[in-house]
Chains A and B, each alone.
Chain A
């Protein structure tokens, strides 16, 4: 049951071979049985899930279901869910029950999905390992001594262990693609503006973008269909028409021009990852795609630019957490100044405090032009690199991460070494482009991800290429043995 795709489960639900209540109970049982080993969930919403499943069964009985009706999913705990704790992985919001639903949550509810719970994450989405959560580290289902990636590490680990069929994630610098790669699942970060940010707790607003995580590109296509589209409540939401993703999945990739950015295959990349990625590219060549060497010459500047822009936006966004109207309140403050300071210092974890400090610094008088404006200029150079490369080819392909999942604790001593994990993902956020990560092999029994990058609003193309690859390979169907 847990190995089935959304399309297969949907057919069984529509044919009444199984009810949504049965399916929901099945996955709730898996959560009870397995999540103790993974720590992938912050909240399980059993009661609400069973009620939503019963409603889905009524819709199916009436004969009016959609492709996601009755499908059990999880939401990253960054998405506001009305009446359900929304912690963002932080002590600051440990007591916060959202007063409304995020647009993504509303849309997936309207599509008939059943929310089983909320997934663990790096605090305020700041992290690449899911070790920076108030609720503790999430474990990689392939090897529980290793990280699942972050910040959507709870969603990635839960889907890899098939504790739900699909999950939402968010990606500011790689937070959907990197955990998808390290946990052996498929995830897509859409073009900035395709998925509404309303009710998605802000980290770096010019980079944040929500998207789906699931076993396959076909499942991601169905999820993205429900999540995407204009929202008047998000001032940066795009009015671009959303195509029918499923219809694009079966197009042939014959004649597809794939660019391999040479900077993505430098000495920083583990040779075994490079081999696995080249092997994936060869599969697409066999299907008729052609390969071209391209260059993204400013790639090496993307992490420095990102770690100026993202903390700057974060320091501004997180100024709202003062503990007065909601969130963490300290005990026995001396005075108002002490109250603000202790609410924030005790409510935020070390990585969040670090990024607020960096952001405050680069935005402060005397440093604004030298750091913040300079980084925005570098951002333009990086975006120009992509637009030049994408004039020559249809998509770009490369590794998602420089290596497979590292051990829990391995990168904690030095924040910069942790940031370097984002080398192949952050530039895409800076440019605002869409990119997908999917499994393409194993190294030391840990999954490897390959990334496909496209032009603005070309999600249908990325899902199409990934689906064609997944039709002739089986990496996306592999399951961690301990959770099979």
Chain B
């Protein structure tokens, strides 16, 4: 299996990235390298999602954090906020 330019275009769109076409060769090499696991018999092996098979811990559904909206909005570059909202390029003219 190898990457085509179309595959890369589709992936780049999914990842919201613009990539150089030279990446095709690198991705091909990596895919070929990691693909060797496909020959291994893993019948009846349960996938391991987490080290030590940790069980996701839940907490009571209670408010524990204060509202820090101003602090969070102070992180936005170039002061791109207005009236407590974040500014992005126009979607509708």
Contact = CB atoms under 8 A, between A and B. Distances in A.
A97 B76 CA distance: 10
A292 interface: no
Contact of B11 (A322, A329, A345, A357): A357
Given A99-B68, A381-B42, A381-B45, A360 B29 contact: no
Contacts, number: 168
A4 interface: no
Interface in B1-58: 7-8, 11-12, 14-19, 23, 26-27, 29-31, 33-38, 40, 42, 45-52, 54, 56-57
A342 B74 CA distance: 22
A364 B16 contact: no
A325 B72 contact: yes
- Centre residue among B27, B35, B40, B59 by max chain A CB count within 10 A: B40
Interface string A206-235: 110000000000000000000000001001
A64 to B, nearest CB: 31
A336 B92 CA distance: 10
B84 interface: no
Nearest to B64: A232
Contacts of B71: 99
A342 B47 CA distance: 36
Contacts of B16: 322, 340-341, 344
A192 B53 CA distance: 11
Contacts of B48: 376-377, 379-380, 383, 430
A95 B42 contact: no
Given A235-B56, A335-B89, A375-B37, A415 B17 contact: no
A304 B33 contact: yes
Contact of A206 (B31, B49, B74): B49
A307 interface: yes
Given A354-B26, A357-B19, A377-B48, A325 B86 contact: yes
Interface string A326-348: 11110001111011111011001
B91 interface: yes
B76 to A, nearest CB: 6
Contacts of A333: 89
Contact of A329 (B37, B50, B57, B78): B78
Given A193-B51, A235-B57, A415 B37 contact: no
The 5 residue pairs across chains A and B that have the minimum distance between CB atoms: A432-B51, A376-B47, A192-B51, A377-B42, A380-B48
20 contacts: A191-B52, A192-B52, A192-B54, A193-B51, A301-B37, A305-B34, A307-B30, A324-B80, A336-B90, A342-B18, A344-B16, A353-B19, A357-B17, A376-B49, A377-B42, A377-B47, A379-B47, A380-B47, A415-B29, A431-B51
Interface of B: 7-8, 11-12, 14-19, 23, 26-27, 29-31, 33-38, 40, 42, 45-52, 54, 56-57, 59, 68, 71-78, 80, 86, 88-91
Interface of A: 95-97, 99, 191-193, 206-207, 232, 235-236, 238, 301, 303-305, 307-308, 315, 322-329, 333-336, 338-342, 344-345, 348, 353-354, 356-358, 360-362, 364, 370-371, 373-381, 383, 414-416, 419, 429-432, 456
